[in-house]
């Protein structure tokens, strides 16, 4: 696929940064959210780079597409949960804006990868 490791993929690197920032954000959530919203946000954030890595390890370009689709779903889930966190007052608007930019940028990169993979599948 042109990359030796998923770690070489810019989209994986960005999604790791997004997951890391998300963890830093949820650490400050109220204690009662430790096993609630904070945990859900962390799982969704980790799912994005994990699925990119999994897809990269698949045998074919076509098989890479399914985990990429899951990564996009997790990203939408993450965005929704972050917005709810803002509504609940767990995250300030500046923090929310900052993480939202990372989420948007990651989404654009994943969709670009998905489009590229679909084109490659059609041409093969």
For the chain, 124 residues long, give each residue's pLDDT as a single digit of tens.
Answer: 455 899 999 999 999 999 999 999 999 999 999 899 999 999 999 999 999 999 999 989 999 999 999 999 999 999 999 999 999 999 999 999 999 999 999 999 999 999 999 999 999 8
Look at the chain and report how many structural domains it folds into: 1
In a domain, 124, yes or no: no
In a domain, 46, yes or no: yes
In a domain, 2, yes or no: no
In a domain, 1, yes or no: no
Nearest to 67 by CA among 57, 77, 52: 52
- pTM, two decimals, is 0.94
Question: What domain range is 99 assigned to?
Answer: 7-119
Which CATH number fits the domain that encloses residue 11? 1.20.1440.60
31-67 CB burial, b ≥16 within 10 A, e <16 = eebeeebbebbbebbbbbbbbbbbbbeeeebeebbeb
């Amino acid at each position: 696929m042109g990359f030796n490791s998923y770690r070489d993929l810019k989209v994986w690197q960005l999604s790791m940064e997004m997951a890391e920032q998300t963890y830093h954000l949820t650490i400050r959530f109220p204690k009662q959210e430790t096993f609630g919203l904070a945990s859900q946000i962390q799982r969704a954030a980790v799912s994005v780079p994990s699925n990119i890595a999994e897809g990269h390890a698949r045998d074919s370009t076509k098989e890479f597409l399914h985990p990429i689709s899951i990564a996009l779903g997790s990203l939408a889930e993450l965005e929704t949960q972050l917005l709810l966190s803002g509504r609940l007052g767990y995250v300030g608007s500046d923090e929310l804006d900052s993480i939202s930019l990372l989420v948007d940028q990651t989404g654009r990169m994943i969709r670009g990868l998905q489009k590229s993979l679909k084109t490659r599948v059609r041409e093969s």
